[in-house]
Amino acid sequence: MKIIEENIVTDEKQLEIISSQYIGDYAIRIFFNDGVKRLVDFKPFLENSVHSSTRKYLDENKFKNYQIVDGNLNWNDYELIFPLEDLYEGKL
């Protein structure tokens, strides 16, 4: 049996966040590399969470302390992270 591996090159860029702006009250404006921008409200998600590791981000100072890592929003070394597609759709 012969196994052939092909590298398929496409012109499509991998979706990623290039910048963001904290608006306030747990809302972040997110700018994607394809020109799309979304305002995502994280407050309902945080308030409805039953996990203490997630609810701790209701402390606004902790919530605001996120970084863009590998094209995605990241809190405290992957302690809190969201699927990029959900952020792109603006739905959590």
What are the Cα distances from residue 53, in Å, to 2, 5, 29, 35?
A: 49, 42, 23, 33
- The domain tally of the chain equals 1
**Using an 8 Å Cβ cutoff, are 46 and 66 in contact?**
no
Helix (H, G, I), strand (E, B) or coil at 15: coil
- CATH number of the domain bearing residue 83: 3.30.2020
Give the residue numbers spanning the domain of 78.
Answer: 17-89
The amino acid that residue 70 corresponds to is D
Per-residue pLDDT of the chain (92 residues; tens, 9 = 90+): 566 666 555 556 799 999 999 999 999 999 999 999 999 999 999 999 999 999 999 999 999 999 999 999 999 999 999 999 999 999 89
